[in-house]
Amino acid sequence: MKSKGILTLGWPAVTVARYFAGGLWVTQSALSFPIIRTAGLDGMLVTFADALSEPSNRATLAFSEAVKACAWPGVQEVSTSLASVFLRFDSAALCHAALKDLLLALLETQDWQQAALPPGRRLWRVPTVFGTGLAPQLAEAADAAGMSEAQAVESLGSARVRVLTIGFAPGQPYLGPLGAEWNLPRQTELTPQVPTGALVLAISQFVLFATTAPTGWRHVGQTGFRGFQLGAEDPIALRPGDEMIFTPVSRSDYDRFCLEDSHFGGASREEIPA
Amino acid sequence: MNALKVLRIGPLASIQDQGRPGQLQQGVSRGGAADLLALAEGAALLRQDMHLAALEMAGIGGLFEATSPMRIALTGAPMQASLDGENLAWNASHQMLAGQKLEIGAARKGVYGYLHLGGGIDSAVQLGARAVHLMSGLGNPVAVGDLLPCGADPGREVGLGLQAEDRFQGGALRIVEGFQSDLFDAEVRARFADTAFKRGGRANRMGVEMVSDGAGFAAAGQLNILSEIILPGDVQMTGDGKPFVLLREAQTTGGYPRIGTVLPCDLSKVAQAQAGVDLQFNWVSLDEGLAIQAKQDALMKALPSTCKPLLRDPALMQDLLSYQLVGGVISAQADPFDTGDIT
């Protein structure tokens, strides 16, 4: 790649340096956030940052709620990724320029990075076995983070993380952000298969697998939590903005929880006061 | 229950419809038929709603038996088809009588062929659609012994045909720039459109690999971008700068950079390209893309009016009795008045 591209765009290389510096956003990029860009023929993307941080995800969740509340005619779908809000719309009913104007006006109504999170969020406490044969990569991850296994369990088991987005597969949450010490790169080799309920870690995030799948993230914990259950009253349990704590439990307690609660593996749920 | 029994079936045959648009927030990808035009054609031939489900067959069909009289239509990648040994026209609707066997062979060109039933395939609705999405745990591949249940079919008309748009031999794909196009140098984007591609060996309902001679198409620092929403038609570059065109069943988010998005109306051409077929990308502006897509949408809406009775030479018809000669009568058992349809 030509260095010209990197300099003019100022994107990825800066992102990584910035991330290691503590995860907080410094506006030295050529791009000035938030930015509105087209996505395909019938989509618009409002992006709050090019790196994951708590404020950028907060802005994303709050702005998404605000867009939904506006209920602009022609908007067919609103969804969020880690740091962007995506809108799909009927361009015959709402042209690109008009939608962009609406979005710009809404963006200017407040500082979205400081916005209150949407109401109706829940806190989930999920019994989790860290390490052992159930989650064989805890030791490796702890080592990469410069900790003992006990320290890693203490750190990961006490972290209160947010559902940053749901994606890749139905009901599968990306959770975080974890501290910078957990900014571990993805593995170069894929783990051929992790089971449903697997808690995997990379780049300062967890993913809680809602299905059985291969992954490049490290399998550090195992839960009995099923994020996607067809036939359940609410097939997809989690919503972006929910929070989770993965409480360390023994293997025998884990087995008992899974036996008693085949859906959520003994997880508890409480409303987060608005 | 009116149903079509599966006596033999190729691998990767599955029930598909328009998929599940509008559920990205739950991580549910759109999915649905790989060739939506084929779904619309089948609906037009049977004079029914294009949201009904059909059987999608990848590369090869199967052997089916009607447990009761039913109407069928065949669209998409043209495959050899016969009813009790009599050849059937592709891109056409036909009558099946109880006990008759329908045999569908290999695709002569293209990849995905479709078998439509009058009333649609009335399988279980999951998350708002019947479309099977294996990776999401939604439904199963069709297997030998399965009964494909027919929905209520108020229609009677068969023996219609249409001229299908030939999207089975590759060609030019119209592509618009998107939110990550700027990650690629202008020179790379220009070279991308100047390159002759062939469909590579790796392809499924999620995406299709494109191969070419010469350098790849990497973005600046492409391994470090934040995972972002995936749209059907996005052309993502893997680590070695090799393009994949993502189809409607692709996962909802991804971390590989996308150079642009192929227009929805050209995705049938991508899905239907067999390995080795020539393909090429043409950049179009957003306004051009919108105009092209609007024109295609209008053509799709007009499909029912393009369906015409099949022309048959009676001298070549070996078994006149197997054809429906009297409108409104579909079998000796059926009462044409029992549905209230007396047209």
DSSP letter (8 states) at residue B322: G
Residue B31 vs residue A13, higher pLDDT: B31
- Tell me the C-alpha distance between A270 and B6, whole Å: 48
Q: What is the CATH number of domain A3-114?
A: 3.30.1360.40
What does the pLDDT average to over B256-271? 96
**Tens digits of residue pLDDT in B102-135:** 999 999 999 999 999 999 999 999 999 999 999 8
pLDDT given at position A271: 97
Interface test with B, best of A41, A175, A183, A206 (most B CBs within 10 A): A41
Q: Do A230 and B27 touch (CB under 8 A)?
A: no
**Tens digits of residue pLDDT in A97-109:** 999 999 999 999 9
End-to-end CA distance of chain B: 25
pLDDT given at position B218: 86
Residue A73 vs residue B227, higher pLDDT: A73
Judge whether residue A118 has pLDDT over 70.
yes
Q: Do B137 and A5 touch (CB under 8 A)?
A: no
Please give the CATH architecture assigned to the domain spanning B171-300. Answer: Beta Barrel (2.40)
Judge whether residue A8 has pLDDT over 60.
no
Q: Do B251 and A168 touch (CB under 8 A)?
A: yes
pLDDT band, residue A231 (cuts 50/70/90): confident
- Tell me the C-alpha distance between A183 and B87, whole Å: 62
Judge whether residue B186 has pLDDT over 70.
yes
- By the 8 A CB rule, do B154 and B146 touch? no
Query: Which residues in B lie closer than 8 A to residue A1 (C-beta atoms)?
Result: 185, 218-221
Percent of chain A with pLDDT over 90: 79
Query: Which residues in B lie closer than 8 A to residue A77 (C-beta atoms)?
Result: 21-22, 24-25
- By the 8 A CB rule, do A261 and A245 touch? no
B323 is written with which tokens? 């054809």
- Tell me the C-alpha distance between B155 and A4, whole Å: 63
DSSP letter (8 states) at residue A92: T
Residue B310 sits at the chain A interface (C-beta within 8 Å)? no
Of A78, A82, A169, the CB nearest to B227: A82
Between vectors from CA A23 to CA A22 and to CA A25, what angle results, nearest 5°?
A: 115
ipTM score: 0.88
Nearest to A223 by CA among A243, A259, A245, A196: A196
pLDDT given at position B336: 35
Sorted by where each begins, the domain ranges of chain A are 3-114, 122-271
Sorted by where each begins, the domain ranges of chain B are 3-162+308-322, 171-300
Percent of chain B with pLDDT over 90: 83
Least-confidence region, from A175-179, A224-228, A250-254, B327-331 = B327-331
What does the pLDDT average to over A210-229? 94
pLDDT band, residue B333 (cuts 50/70/90): very low
Judge whether residue B277 has pLDDT over 70.
yes
What does the pLDDT average to over B225-238? 92
Query: Which residues in A lie closer than 8 A to residue B263 (C-beta atoms)?
Result: 41
Q: Which CATH superfamily is domain A122-271 in?
A: Cyclophilin-like (2.40.100.10)
Average pLDDT, chain B: 91
- By the 8 A CB rule, do B119 and B153 touch? yes
- By the 8 A CB rule, do B106 and B79 touch? yes
Name the CA radius of gyration of chain A, rounded.
Answer: 20
Query: Which residues in B lie closer than 8 A to residue A91 (C-beta atoms)?
Result: 290
By CB neighbour count within 10 A (0-12 exposed, 13-18 middle, 19+ buried), where does B250 fall?
buried
Q: Do B218 and A37 touch (CB under 8 A)?
A: no
- Tell me the C-alpha distance between B41 and B91, whole Å: 8
Judge whether residue A21 has pLDDT over 50.
no
